[in-house]
Amino acid sequence: MIVGSILMLLLSGMGYGQVEITDVTSGKVYQSTLQDSVYLFDRAEYAIFIPEGITTLRGIFIHQHGCGMQGIGASTAYDVQYQAFARKWGLAVVGPDIFPKQGCQDWINAETGTGDALIRFLSQIAVVSGHDELQNIPWLLWGHSGGGYWTLSMMKNYPEKIIGVFAYSPAFDPEWDYPQAAYKIPLMIRHAGYSDINVPEVICWKTALNTFSRFRKNNGYASLAYNHGQNHNYSYVRYMAIPFYESILAQRLPDNPSGKLKDMNPSKVWLGDTATYHVIPASAFKGNVSAMNWLPDSAAAVKWREYVITGSIGDKTPPPAPYGLQVNPVNDTLVVITWKADADIESGIKYFNIRMKEGQTIRFPVSGDYQRFNTNGDNTIPIKPPELKCEITRPARAKESVVFISTVNHAGLESSFSNISF
């Protein structure tokens, strides 16, 4: 990682701080703080990843942390798996950190100022990055616990801006009325039943069931994903969220940034039975539709079924191979190899295999994972993965050496090898 210059953007009366820009392998991360006395919370710190090579962004993925988890939100912008997902679909990735004055009730409703703060931040980064479309393109929302409540409040307040929502154990059971437009936003609600946080002041299971029922009775596009054997702070949610999002993005993204979000195609809808895990095309179902899970297409239906049965989704395809290999000699026997790699959208990057023509094999990193996510807040570890750089010793008197590098994902699948001679 190379930390770029720090830009000062102190807009008069707007409460903006400085913007820090960090170069990452496949784009830039912009970080800024917004503070305003009119907001009920103390401050909002944001990090946004913008992929390189994309002239015009098509949408923004926003990953909202839960109550008491402020301080780790920025990790999403440095998440190589989410970065790969974003590049594929032309998205920016936002990781917010909302700091309350007292507790999370200061921020979990968009009307406390968090909706306005997000819009102001995006307007700021539109100026700094040159991506003016950030002020107008639609949002893809993810939220955990209190952050899940926040996504529901965003659906109430900004329905025309939202592509889809994944709510991970949303809390506090909002009782507000949604505008009709909100019911046409694809919504998946994950919950853990008895193992969720169900004390009277949080009531996650009740939130899930009541929200699902409210949406389905209004012909809303909602589904439930129950993880038995897991709990409020333990779930492999991204393995379901990403394919759910991809099915939605394929149908909803406008053809140009100034266009209106498209409606979901009713001919592609499938339904899922939470009790039996049976999935069926909506056109073939004859029973009570409002009791069934709404799923955007057959691909999402198959993934949903696997997820509610197993608690995760398997990856059967290898990751893309590394690219951009370079050799930088240090002396006659020591060279430094650098490379680039795109993460596997399905299961990220676990490590790299580096092999010499002469038979030497190196694991990078030597131990642990290049980057993984925790099963609580879905945050990356480490936040910033190690630089893709490795020292190689060339065998004595070798006229030419060849180094081969492959990527291994978290399913243990290995890419083809890329190579460079030196």
pLDDT score of 13 more than 50: no
Average pLDDT over residues 354-360: 79
DSSP 388: S
pLDDT score of 105 more than 90: yes
Same domain, yes or no: 152 and 220 = yes
pLDDT at residue 400, as a whole number:
80
| 358 vs 375: which has the higher pLDDT | 375
Question: What angle separates helix 146-157 from helix 204-217, to the nearest 10 degrees?
Answer: 20
Kindly calculate the radius of gyration of the chain based on its CA atoms and give it in whole angstroms: 23
Model confidence pLDDT, tens digit, residues 386-421: 999 999 887 766 678 889 999 999 999 999 999 998
Same domain, yes or no: 246 and 170 = yes
Same domain, yes or no: 234 and 334 = no
Asked if residue 296 is part of any domain, the answer here is no
| Burial class, 173, CB count within 10 angstroms (exposed 0-12 / middle 13-18 / buried 19+) | middle
- The single-letter code of the amino acid at 393 is T
Same domain, yes or no: 249 and 331 = no
Average pLDDT over residues 54-80: 96
pLDDT score of 8 more than 60: no
> Distance between CA atoms of 397 and 63, rounded to whole angstroms?
53
> 387, 418, 380, 421: which is closest to 401 by C-alpha?
421
Same domain, yes or no: 258 and 330 = no
Helix ranges (DSSP H) in 253-402: 298-310
Looking up residue 330, the CATH number of its domain turns out to be 2.60.40.10
pLDDT at residue 331, as a whole number:
86
Same domain, yes or no: 162 and 233 = yes
b/e per residue, 393-402, with b = 16+ CB within 10 A? ebeeeeeebe
Asked if residue 280 is part of any domain, the answer here is no
Asked if residue 315 is part of any domain, the answer here is no
Same domain, yes or no: 240 and 333 = no
pLDDT score of 11 more than 50: no
Model confidence pLDDT, tens digit, residues 310-348: 999 999 999 999 999 999 988 878 899 999 999 999 999
Residue 22, H or E segment: strand 19-24
Q: How many domains does the chain have?
A: 2
The whole-model pTM stands at 0.94
Looking up residue 22, the CATH number of its domain turns out to be 3.40.50.1820
pLDDT at residue 358, as a whole number:
65
> Would you say 345 and 84 are in contact if contact means Cβ atoms under 8 Å apart?
yes
pLDDT at residue 398, as a whole number:
63
Asked if residue 408 is part of any domain, the answer here is yes
Asked if residue 279 is part of any domain, the answer here is no
pLDDT at residue 394, as a whole number:
77
Asked if residue 225 is part of any domain, the answer here is yes
Same domain, yes or no: 331 and 258 = no
For residue 276, what pLDDT band results from cuts at 50, 70 and 90? very high
pLDDT score of 9 more than 60: no
pLDDT score of 235 more than 90: yes
pLDDT score of 4 more than 60: no
Cis peptide before 320 (omega within 30 of 0): no
What is the chain's mean pLDDT, rounded? 94
Asked if residue 341 is part of any domain, the answer here is yes
The domain of 72 spans: 2-263
For residue 257, what pLDDT band results from cuts at 50, 70 and 90? confident
